[in-house]
Structure 1
Amino acid sequence: MDLAMENATLGLDSILVGPFTKEIETAEWLDRKLAEFGLSREEVTVKVLFVTLKDTELQKERIIERGAMDRDQWKIDNWDEYEQSLDLPTVAWGIPESDILVFDNSGELTEEKINNLVAFIER
């Protein structure tokens, strides 16, 4: 996150990957983090892209296929409980709804889907 903020001070874009669930659900977190680097919302555009699978059985299949059982065994053994934790967090930062996108990563990654993602990022 600090690297992204440093990039923002230089006018550079960043893409961060992670759940950031706690941060996203904390209303003042974004403004506090921007302020640490002398930035404000007027200077920085923040977008949130949730990549998800609406089909949780497909998600389970993909978790099994990736073969990281040391990390995923609990999820598989307790799927019903884990599945309940898959709800998307609420973005509490007060950013415009147009800067939040939920992308369903099931099915084929088509050119249309890619174009929609690029359009969201570039908007």
Structure 2
Amino acid sequence: MKPTVIFLIGPASSGKSTVGKLLVSKYNFGYLDKDMICNKFTGKLLETNGYSPFDRDGCSFYTDVVMDLEYQTLLDIANDNLQLGNSVILDAPFLGYFSNNNYINELIEKYNWHTINPIVLKVTVDFATLKQRMEARALERDTWKLANWDKYVQSIQEKQCLWENIKMVSFDNSSDTVDAEKLFQILDFKSGITI
């Protein structure tokens, strides 16, 4: 059996969690959400260093010190599951790592994932819908994004995932409900992926 790791990427409010949980319910993957794993600790770490617990975007302390700790924690937990033969979905933006085209190869070497099947599932959504969803969820951590919308959109457009040695698929999640049939078809788990 060859376990699969899905890197579920996409901007905040694109519906990654909804898509990820739908896949989990069908294929019985483990589901690891970086925010659920790290947010409480990250918030406290930021606060004790004089920042708002919701500072992420535009905060150099977060990007220089905290971000790598979050992702290392997420990947270590994922690796434990994968080594036990359990497939996992990683719900996290990974934006800060997109420019490293060797990122997946580095993870394969670090964690000995030579028998792991990695996939990127990029959840996309049109920007008008994205803004509506973000405004509707009204989370404090989105304050900077909404206040700097054009800059935020530009950063999404500029940051393309350049990873090599990994299958990449995109799923447009702009409609009001997730098209589950289309999602399952895009992933096509019958073609060589063992769950």
Residues 1-123 of structure 1 mapped to structure 2, 5 A cutoff: 1-40=75-114, 43-53=115-125, 55-68=126-139, 70-87=140-157, 89-95=160-166, 99-107=167-175, 108-117=177-186, 119=188, 123=193
Is residue 24–residue 93 contact of structure 1 (8 Å, CA) maintained in 2?
no
Map of 2:64 onto structure 1: none
Is residue 171–residue 183 contact of structure 2 (8 Å, CA) maintained in 1?
no
Question: Structure 1 residues 77 and 22 mapped into 2: Cα distance closer, same or farther (>3 Å)?
Answer: closer
Q: Whole-Å Cα distance in 1 between the matches of residues 190 and 163 of structure 2?
A: 20
Q: CA RMSD in A?
A: 2.3
Is residue 9–residue 37 contact of structure 1 (8 Å, CA) maintained in 2?
no
Question: Structure 1 residues 37 and 82 mapped into 2: Cα distance closer, same or farther (>3 Å)?
Answer: closer
Question: Structure 1 residues 115 and 94 mapped into 2: Cα distance closer, same or farther (>3 Å)?
Answer: closer
Question: Structure 1 residues 59 and 116 mapped into 2: Cα distance closer, same or farther (>3 Å)?
Answer: same
Number of residues paired by the alignment? 116
Secondary structure of the residue that 2:117 maps to in structure 1?
Answer: coil
Give identity over the alignment, percent.
30
CA-CA distance at 1:38 after TM superposition: 3.0
User: 1:65-105 deviations in whole A, cap 9, x for unaligned?
Assistant: 0011x21222222211111112252232232xxx2111111
Moved more, 25-34 or 99-108: 25-34
Unaligned runs of 5+ in 1: none
More strand by share: 2
Question: Structure 1 residues 121 and 28 mapped into 2: Cα distance closer, same or farther (>3 Å)?
Answer: farther
User: 1:12-38 deviations in whole A, cap 9, x for unaligned?
Assistant: 211101011233431333222222233
Q: Whole-Å Cα distance in 2 between the matches of residues 120 and 67 of structure 1?
A: 35
